[in-house]
Chains A and B, each alone.
Chain A
Amino acid sequence: MSLQEESETPEIESGETELEALLDDLIVDRDDHMNAPAFVIRPDTVQETLGRLKEEAGYDHLSLVTAEEYPDRFESIYHLKKFDDPTDEVSIVVPTDSENPVSESAEPVFRTADWHEREAYDLVGIEYDDHPDLRRILLPETWQGHPMGLDYDQDRPQMVPLRENANPLQEDQRAESDSDTMFVNIGPHHPATHGVLHLETTLDGEQVVDVEPDIGYLHRNEEQMAQNGTYRHQIMPYPDRWDYISAGLLNEWAYARAAEDLADIEVPEYAQIIRTMGAELCRIAAHMLAVGTFALDIYGDFTAIFMYAIRDREEVQNILEDLTGQRLMFNYFRLGGVVWDLPEPREEFFESIREFVDGLPDRLEEYHDLITGNEILQMRTVGTGILPEEVAKNYGATGPVARGSGIDYDIRRDDPYGYYDELDWEVPVEDGCDNFSRLLVRLREVEESAKIIEQCVDLLEDWPEDERNIQANVPRTLRPEDDKEIYRTVEGAKGELGVYIRSDGTEKPGRFKIRSPCFSNLQTLPEMSNGEYIPDMIAALGSLDIVLGEVDR
């Protein structure tokens, strides 16, 4: 991994001078991050800067907006990437003064900034000029104070109202006026919302006029929890709970990758292979549930497909339980490796994985028979929930959602980590841009994951016994240098999962920010469903495969 970074360094530097030339009149200062050059700009030139970077330098992916408060200022950081090459990154740092924290909104340039900036306003308290709808997003609207700010008093009482939602278009639905719209709350307790999502839906007959996702019903302060924990051991249990659909190891990798690069820890090759294998098992389990609940949303079928999906998940969970000791919350990765070696007897363990992987083609055949080959499902999903490529990019959609819209973007291949670049596999891409494509991408990814697992098992079986090094030497207490900043992403089950860490010289992170793929993906829901029928909106929501634990964090 480090070799790769070194080989890319000259390229980045030549790019940097070009960027400096491009932004010459806007740059106030440099504040480089470990992963990318970072330029400091004035708060009233955000749109100008990002616009130039997007149009002229090709940075078309706003991955994350990080906001934080310092004793003397507020800061918003825009992490930009390219969909063609995610290793080509640049960060734009926008400091604002602490008395009057107003910064220009990036929403006109990148639609995805809408929610990211609302979150920054909600939790940190930075206000964004020119933002279309700046209000709280995760916390209730009557919340007092900004909890990630420096002077927040956590013990202060709070009041949360139970609002009856007003019809935004019409005061009384039974009035004899000509308007036919109706306002419907879907959720937060509703079987089709995959958890506690609230959709404020305006209907005209059976058609969706407007849908607005209302999130925050599972905002569990993951960032605060991580900032309260020490790098070495106390943070690792939490990533399991971001995307809790068995995708634990994928999430743990996001934290491990950022923290290992921050503290300059080299992971032994053997541990990387175990990680790769475990992560792909997790991906299969997560995609199985996505497929099962998608069928549940389309057919309301609780008997066959859902049960088949759960059956296969049980098998994966058994393997993962043998490996990690837990069914769901694995806590298996450690900085510098994994916590323990493969279970003994190894032959039996490999046998169980091989049995699962070998049986998978037959099962997938079964799924294709039941789902993708089914005319009813095709009628429901082909050509519905259209998300064009450009729109998906504008919203920062990643993962199967992006790949279903023809965007060939996978962090595992484009910004390799672990052992992926040594293995033989492909990135499935579909260009149908509809619900069906997203479903197909998931099913094909299961195949690819099985390929990866098979190759990992081959490697692990032949690994010499005295070279099974599962953990690098890591100091008991990690104290990365003061004021180092890093943003690293991995390919989670739902897309690009990233972690931004700023170290402050102590054994705990100064700022810990999570880039959740579901958060960006969910933003595309109105684009996909406005004007469609209500069942198609539910199908589109199912095809996004969101996890509220990750949306709200």
Chain B
Amino acid sequence: MSSERELFRTDDSLVQTETRDARMTGQGDRFNSKLREAFGSSPFILTKFDKFMNWVRGSSMFMLQFGIACCSIEMMHTYAVKHDLDRFHAGVPRASPRQADVMIVPGTIVSKFAPRMKRVYDQMPEPKFVVGMGSCTISGGPFQEGYNVVKGAEEVIPVDIHVPGCPPRPEALVYGVAKLQERIANGESSPVTVKPYELEQFGDLERDEIVDELASEIDEEDLVMRYNWADSP
């Protein structure tokens, strides 16, 4: 162990001195990187702002730290050693949705959780992207016939990339994220294929049998999500 460490030792005293000297005199080749040389004499490049921003967005993605079910275990493995999603400019899990760009939906969504997930998605700032991880976010997966299971994440929020599997291997998730980055860098926006369910005020719903039955339990101003199970795909 110690002999290996010897190999990687750099003479940092020299580096520090040079950097410090360069700072003090305003001289030095601190800004003359290889990239800078490649540009030639002009320190400017011309590009479209949108293109630049897309490149930036794709290359620095903050993921929402968000675990639902089985897939979140594989997602943790993707973040951790061996697979290390960080190598692909996408490994900073943020606990708050307000700091996140990408939401990986790792698991089965059930009726009670769907409104909460919608709320978390709404709290993320634009532009935001969603990776659906696992079969459950595609169709409900093995639990599709359950009385309580939402038949895919797209019933609730728009999804950019679907990663199939039950659960997908970490490599598959990395591939999905890489594909998302590719799309973002190319400026492709996420098509909303299904109109997402809305959280609606209870008072705004059409009066029908179910609404009448619940009128005593729910306030007019309460946000509700209505599931028409028979119409679900």
Does A245 touch B at the CB level, under 8 Å?
Answer: yes
- The answer to whether B113 touches A327, judged by C-beta atoms less than 8 angstroms apart, is no
Which of B69, B143, B202, B223 has the most CB atoms of chain A within a 10 A radius of its CB?
B69
- The answer to whether B67 touches A217, judged by C-beta atoms less than 8 angstroms apart, is no
Which of A196, A216, A548 has the most CB atoms of chain B within a 10 A radius of its CB?
A196
Q: 19 A-B pairs, CB-CB below 8 angstroms?
A: A139-B111, A147-B147, A156-B210, A159-B202, A159-B227, A161-B218, A188-B116, A196-B116, A216-B110, A216-B112, A217-B113, A218-B107, A220-B108, A220-B148, A237-B142, A306-B80, A310-B80, A314-B82, A328-B73
| In the complex, chain A residues 210-245 whose Cβ is within 8 Å of any chain B Cβ | 216-221, 224-225, 228, 237-238, 241, 244-245
The 3 closest A-B pairs by CB, nearest first: A221-B146, A244-B70, A310-B80
Known: A140-B111, A158-B227, A160-B111. A548 touches B69 (CB 8 A): yes
- The interface size of chain A toward B, counting residues with CB under 8 Å, comes to 53
Number of A-B contacts (CB under 8 A): 160
Known: A220-B110, A307-B80. A195 touches B69 (CB 8 A): yes
Does B217 touch A at the CB level, under 8 Å?
Answer: yes
Does A473 touch B at the CB level, under 8 Å?
Answer: no
Q: How far is the CB of A330 from the nearest CB of chain B, in Å?
A: 12
- Closest-by-CB residue of B relative to A243 is B70
| In the complex, chain A residues 186-224 whose Cβ is within 8 Å of any chain B Cβ | 188-191, 194-196, 216-221, 224
- Closest-by-CB residue of B relative to A321 is B169
B129 proximity list for chain A (CB < 8 A): none
A158 proximity list for chain B (CB < 8 A): 111, 210, 226-227, 229
Contact with A along B200-233 (1 / 0, CB 8 A): 0010000000110110011000111111111000
Compute how far the CA of A216 lies from the CA of B147 in the bound complex, rounded to whole angstroms: 13
- The answer to whether B149 touches A154, judged by C-beta atoms less than 8 angstroms apart, is no
Does B166 touch A at the CB level, under 8 Å?
Answer: yes
A156 proximity list for chain B (CB < 8 A): 210, 229
Q: How far is the CB of A195 from the nearest CB of chain B, in Å?
A: 6
- The answer to whether A218 touches B114, judged by C-beta atoms less than 8 angstroms apart, is no
Compute how far the CA of A311 lies from the CA of B84 in the bound complex, rounded to whole angstroms: 11
Q: How far is the CB of A359 from the nearest CB of chain B, in Å?
A: 15
- The answer to whether A327 touches B74, judged by C-beta atoms less than 8 angstroms apart, is yes
Does A3 touch B at the CB level, under 8 Å?
Answer: no
Does A163 touch B at the CB level, under 8 Å?
Answer: yes
- The answer to whether A155 touches B67, judged by C-beta atoms less than 8 angstroms apart, is no
Select one of A139, A162, A228 contacting B145, CB under 8 A: A228
Contact with A along B149-183 (1 / 0, CB 8 A): 10000000000000000110100000000000000
Q: How far is the CB of A363 from the nearest CB of chain B, in Å?
A: 14
Does B185 touch A at the CB level, under 8 Å?
Answer: no
- The answer to whether A245 touches B73, judged by C-beta atoms less than 8 angstroms apart, is yes
Compute how far the CA of A225 lies from the CA of B82 in the bound complex, rounded to whole angstroms: 35
List residues of A whose CB falls within 8 A of some B CB. Answer: 139-144, 147, 152, 154-163, 188-191, 194-196, 216-221, 224-225, 228, 237-238, 241, 244-246, 289, 306-307, 310-311, 313-314, 317, 327-329, 548-549
- The answer to whether B70 touches A225, judged by C-beta atoms less than 8 angstroms apart, is no
- The answer to whether A224 touches B146, judged by C-beta atoms less than 8 angstroms apart, is yes
- The answer to whether B166 touches A329, judged by C-beta atoms less than 8 angstroms apart, is yes
- The answer to whether A162 touches B68, judged by C-beta atoms less than 8 angstroms apart, is no
B97 proximity list for chain A (CB < 8 A): 189
A157 proximity list for chain B (CB < 8 A): 210, 226-230
- The answer to whether B68 touches A218, judged by C-beta atoms less than 8 angstroms apart, is yes
Select one of B80, B107, B148, B230 contacting A221, CB under 8 A: B148
Select one of A154, A246, A549 contacting B69, CB under 8 A: A549
- The answer to whether B73 touches A219, judged by C-beta atoms less than 8 angstroms apart, is no
B77 proximity list for chain A (CB < 8 A): 310, 313-314, 317
Known: A191-B65, A244-B69. A160 touches B225 (CB 8 A): yes
- The answer to whether B115 touches A160, judged by C-beta atoms less than 8 angstroms apart, is yes
A314 proximity list for chain B (CB < 8 A): 77, 81-82
Compute how far the CA of A207 lies from the CA of B221 in the bound complex, rounded to whole angstroms: 33
Compute how far the CA of A221 lies from the CA of B217 in the bound complex, rounded to whole angstroms: 25
Compute how far the CA of A307 lies from the CA of B116 in the bound complex, rounded to whole angstroms: 30
Q: How far is the CB of A303 from the nearest CB of chain B, in Å?
A: 10
B72 proximity list for chain A (CB < 8 A): 195
Q: How far is the CB of A320 from the nearest CB of chain B, in Å?
A: 13
B111 proximity list for chain A (CB < 8 A): 139-140, 143, 158, 160
Q: How far is the CB of B204 from the nearest CB of chain A, in Å?
A: 13
Q: Could you list 14 further interchain pairs (A-B, Cβ under 8 angstroms) beyond the known A162-B119, A216-B110?
A: A157-B227, A157-B230, A159-B226, A160-B112, A160-B227, A161-B202, A161-B225, A218-B68, A218-B69, A221-B147, A245-B73, A310-B82, A327-B167, A549-B69
- The answer to whether A225 touches B145, judged by C-beta atoms less than 8 angstroms apart, is yes
Compute how far the CA of A210 lies from the CA of B113 in the bound complex, rounded to whole angstroms: 23
Select one of B112, B120, B223, B226 contacting A219, CB under 8 A: B112
Compute how far the CA of A70 lies from the CA of B210 in the bound complex, rounded to whole angstroms: 27
- The answer to whether B229 touches A155, judged by C-beta atoms less than 8 angstroms apart, is yes
Does B95 touch A at the CB level, under 8 Å?
Answer: yes
A141 proximity list for chain B (CB < 8 A): 217
- The answer to whether A327 touches B169, judged by C-beta atoms less than 8 angstroms apart, is yes
- The answer to whether A224 touches B147, judged by C-beta atoms less than 8 angstroms apart, is yes
Compute how far the CA of A310 lies from the CA of B79 in the bound complex, rounded to whole angstroms: 10
- The answer to whether B73 touches A246, judged by C-beta atoms less than 8 angstroms apart, is yes
Q: How far is the CB of B215 from the nearest CB of chain A, in Å?
A: 11
B73 proximity list for chain A (CB < 8 A): 244-246, 289, 328
Compute how far the CA of A139 lies from the CA of B227 in the bound complex, rounded to whole angstroms: 14
Q: How far is the CB of A393 from the nearest CB of chain B, in Å?
A: 31
Compute how far the CA of A238 lies from the CA of B146 in the bound complex, rounded to whole angstroms: 13
- The answer to whether A328 touches B74, judged by C-beta atoms less than 8 angstroms apart, is yes
A194 proximity list for chain B (CB < 8 A): 67
A218 proximity list for chain B (CB < 8 A): 68-69, 107-108, 110, 113
Compute how far the CA of A162 lies from the CA of B123 in the bound complex, rounded to whole angstroms: 15
Q: How far is the CB of B27 from the nearest CB of chain A, in Å?
A: 38
- Closest-by-CB residue of B relative to A315 is B82
Select one of B66, B107, B146, B230 contacting A189, CB under 8 A: B66
- The answer to whether B213 touches A144, judged by C-beta atoms less than 8 angstroms apart, is yes
| In the complex, chain B residues 71-108 whose Cβ is within 8 Å of any chain A Cβ | 72-74, 76-77, 80-82, 95, 97, 107-108
B107 proximity list for chain A (CB < 8 A): 218
